[in-house]
Structure 1
């Protein structure tokens, strides 16, 4: 699996709706956090190694109603015992 994070800026008043949509309807979602600063949410996703992350972001995330802007952060390595796979 390939892990990556997306900072998400929401339209005013839409942060909770966007977070719910990510958690309930996007199966690749691992975590969603509300954050302070330029963006409203930080979401973690995991896709198959062969997946096109750019296409995933533009078709499955940026099209969600209430999302105004995104910034994607690609992960290279996980320095945890589970290698970022969520296994203990």
Structure 2
């Protein structure tokens, strides 16, 4: 499995709704609320060969209440 993270900026007052929608879809491994420029940090796992850009576009960015995303591709866990 390939791990990657997505930082999510939500529309004002929508962070908990977005987090609940992600949890309901059962596509995220972990969902954290954060302070700073983004409201949520979400860890995903996909099968090797999965197009991460399409996954984020089709599975994450279409959730109501999301304003912006920033995807972080990971290479190796230590």
Shorter-chain TM-score bucket reads over 0.9
CA distance in structure 2 between the aligned counterparts of 1:76 and 1:37, rounded to whole angstroms: 24
CA RMSD for the aligned pairs?
A: 0.6
Question: After TM superposition, where is structure 1 displaced by more than 6 Å over at least 4 residues in a row?
Answer: none
Match of 2:6 in 1: 6
Provide the aligned length of Structure 1 versus Structure 2. 78
Q: Give the distance between the partners of 2:77 and 2:70, measured in 1 at CA.
A: 20
Task: Give the aligned partner of residue 18 of structure 1.
Answer: 18
1:62, 1:20 → 2: CA distance? Answer: 14
- Gaps of at least 5 residues in structure 1 are 80-88
RCO higher in structure (CA 8 A, sep ≥6): 2
- Structure 1 CA distance, aligned partners of 2:27 and 2:21? 12
Q: 1:28: Cα distance to partner?
A: 2.8
Q: Give the Cα–Cα distance (whole angstroms) in 2 for the partners of residues 14 and 69 of structure 1.
A: 12
Q: Distance in 2 between matches of 1:6 and 1:41?
A: 8
In structure 2, the gaps of 5 or more residues are none
Q: Does 1:43 align with 2:42?
A: yes
CA deviation map 1:14-38 (0-9, x unaligned): 000000111111x331000000000
Structure label with greater radius of gyration:
1
